[in-house]
Amino acid sequence: MNFPPRILHVDADNFFVSCETVLDASLCGRVVWVVGGGRGGGVVVAASAPAKLAGVRPGMPCSAALRLCPRGVFRPARLDVYKDFSRRMFAILREFSPLVVVASIDEAFLDFSAAPIEVEKIRARIFRELRLPVSAGLANSPRLAKFAANCAKPGFLEIPAGTERDFLALRFVRDLCGVGVQRERALSALGAVTFADVARLPSMLLKEKFGIWGQELWLFANGRWAEPLISKAKTRTMISRSKTFLADEKDFEKVLNFGLGEVLFLAEQLRREHLEAREMNVCVRFGDFSEVAATRRFRAPQREPDILGAVFGELFRGLLARRAAPVRQLRVALRGLSPRPPQRLLFE
For residue 197, is it within any domain? yes
pLDDT of residue 206: 92
Strand partners, 286: 327
Are residues 215 and 301 both part of a single domain? Answer: no
Q: Is the pLDDT at 325 greater than 70, yes or no? A: yes
Contact 267, 241 (CB under 8 A): no
Question: Residue 4: its pLDDT value, please?
Answer: 78
For the chain, what is the mean pLDDT? Answer: 87
Collapsing DSSP to helix, strand or coil, 119 comes out as helix
Q: Looking at 124-128, 232-236, 238-242, 295-299, which range is the least confident one?
A: 232-236
Contacts of 10 by beta carbon, 8 Å cutoff, 6+ apart: 93, 107, 108, 109, 110, 122, 134, 135, 136, 149
CATH number at residue 212: 1.10.150.20
- C-alpha 70/C-alpha 341 separation (Å) is 57
pLDDT value of residue 127: 96
Residue 133, domain member (yes or no): no
Same domain, 225 and 247: no
What gap in Å lies between CA 144 and CA 330, rounded to an integer? Answer: 40
More confident residue, 103 or 196: 196
Backbone angles phi, psi at 32, to 5 degrees: -135, 145
Tell me the backbone φ, ψ of residue 96, rounded to 5 degrees. Answer: -105, -20
pLDDT at position 346, please?
Answer: 44
Question: Cβ neighbours of residue 107 under 8 Å, at least 6 residues apart?
Answer: 9, 10, 11, 12, 146
Classify 279 as helix, strand or coil.
strand
Tell whether 124 is covered by a domain: no
Identify the bridge partners of residue 102 per DSSP, sorted by sequence position.
Answer: 108
Give, to the nearest 10 degrees, the angle between helix 181-189 and helix 203-210: 140
Residue 313 lies in a domain: yes
For residue 2, the model assigns a pLDDT of: 62
Q: Please give the residue range of the domain that contains residue 52.
A: 15-81
Distance CA 302, CA 285 (A): 26
- Judge contact between 41 and 177, C-beta under 8 A: no
- Give the pLDDT confidence of 162-194 residue by residue, as tens digits: 999 999 999 999 999 878 788 899 999 999 999
CB 64 within 8 A of CB 43: no
- What's the total number of domains in the chain? 3
CATH of the domain at 33: 3.40.1170.60
Exposure on the CB side of residue 48, measured as CA atoms within 13 A? 20
pLDDT, residue 58, reads: 82
Same domain, 251 and 333: yes
For residue 253, the domain's CATH number is 3.30.1490.100
Helix (H) or strand (E) holding 36: strand 32-36
pLDDT, tens digit, 9 for 90 and up, residues 142-167: 999 999 999 998 899 999 999 999 99
Query: Do 306 and 333 belong together in one domain?
Result: yes
Residues 88-129 pLDDT 10s: 999 999 999 888 888 888 999 999 887 788 899 999 999 999
Model confidence band, residue 63 (pLDDT cutoffs 50, 70, 90): confident
User: Which whole number is the average pLDDT over 244-268?
Assistant: 86
Per-residue pLDDT for 233 more than 60?
A: no
Please list the active-site residues. 107
Q: What is the pLDDT of residues 30-39, one digit of tens each?
A: 999 998 765 4
Sign of the CA dihedral with 145 first, then 147, 152, and 154 last? positive
pLDDT value for 348: 41
Provide the 10 A C-beta neighbour count for residue 306: 9
Q: Is the pTM of this model over 0.85?
A: no
Confidence bin at 344 (pLDDT 50/70/90): very low
